[in-house]
Chain A
């Protein structure tokens, strides 16, 4: 069959016939050609098919535009909003419970992570003595006051405390060692802290401080619960221990659910 590739004039005729813009006479002539000339007929159907193909492109373009309009005119898309509105109450309840659990869990996680330093601050605080009118401030108290008021750094404070010699009159040296032990704890220098606690040994309650200091050191260094429990035991076994209450609190903390989960 001889297919005709339509020229511009024939394409105009096809358009006119297809859109019904031909007069009756031309329309009849055109219909006659369609019926009698297979090549012409094939060519016209090629034209119709080309319109059909372009219609696919038009549909695809319109679909893409509607997706764009959906985003622009219907923020979030009606479908999204619809889906949210149609969530059953149980899904909302589950989502709320999950959110609560996550928030609570996160708070507990932060609490577990910050506990070593928080516990040192709570159970082995570094505080200067408050002077009353007429009291003479000691050199040691001045050093500690500078530290707590942040006039001196931790390292500067340790250096100053180390200058207080054993031969210093009174118990300044032992008190200095006690402070040193607490500062070493904050630095995570457990061996130094233990030695300093030992040197403060003649002070009242120094043994108790050394024992709680050992517990705090193990926590600070991230030791296992079993090791920390081992250090807590001598304190828990003595109800009159100065740090018995602190030991019970620490015991509850490190043997609790959140500590087990996050450590």
Chain B
């Protein structure tokens, strides 16, 4: 099977649905990317497991950035992922060991083009959002996440065994309204938004 180019992989992620999953699988199982990130972590106060975790975190951020149009086509995916992994690890180290702040200058990122602050979601806010999500119910979560991943209404209907696309569309609106109501009722006001 021919290996997809970076551009093809990015397009597959952007198009969402099963193509996105295939592309992410391809990237995740690429031993070059994995080993490079893991080596960087193990050479900088981390162990193998930290490296594995960081590969996964970096792919999650990359996926989101590509879907939200924040990935630029300069450079290649491997160096992009490496830069994200490096940035995430640097942040984690700073949280764990503030005294090490000056000791990993080799990890410093220069002129990152992708606004690294986007990588991180405040933990407290994340917990609040998770609490809201848990009140939404699994089916609604599933419908909305498939929608957000650009699955078509036909695909959503098939995946969730709904009658047809219009039933899926109605369900999606209901779930979205339900979630927005929960958010409005919660303490997550506009001032919390970044």
Listed in ascending order, the chain B residues whose CB lies under 8 Å from chain A are: 21, 24-25, 28-29, 31, 34, 38, 48-49, 51-52, 56, 59-60, 63-64, 121, 126, 129-130, 132-133, 141, 144-145, 148-149, 173, 176-177, 179-181, 183-184, 188, 190, 193
User: How far is it, in angstroms, between the C-alpha of A173 and the C-alpha of B18 when the chains are bound?
Assistant: 93
Chain A facing B: main interface SS: helix
Nearest-CB distance from B64 to chain A (Å)? Answer: 6
User: How far is it, in angstroms, between the C-alpha of A82 and the C-alpha of B41 when the chains are bound?
Assistant: 13
Contact B145 A45 (CB under 8 A): no
User: How far is it, in angstroms, between the C-alpha of A262 and the C-alpha of B21 when the chains are bound?
Assistant: 59
Tell me whether A11 and B48 are in contact in the complex, defined as CB-CB below 8 angstroms, given that A53-B133, A78-B31 are known contacts: no
Tell me whether A79 and B184 are in contact in the complex, defined as CB-CB below 8 angstroms, given that A49-B193, A53-B132 are known contacts: no
- What are the nearest 5 A-B pairs in CB distance? A46-B180, A53-B129, A50-B179, A73-B29, A79-B52
Residues of B within 8 A of A8 (CB): 173
Residues of A within 8 A of B188 (CB): 49
Residues of A within 8 A of B133 (CB): 53-54, 56-57
Tell me whether A58 and B148 are in contact in the complex, defined as CB-CB below 8 angstroms, given that A49-B129, A66-B59, A82-B38 are known contacts: yes
Listed in ascending order, the chain A residues whose CB lies under 8 Å from chain B are: 3, 5-8, 11, 41-43, 45-59, 61-63, 65-67, 69-70, 73-74, 77-79, 82-83, 86
12 A/B residue pairs, CB under 8 Å, sorted by A: A46-B180, A49-B129, A49-B193, A50-B176, A53-B130, A54-B141, A56-B121, A58-B64, A59-B60, A65-B21, A67-B56, A69-B25
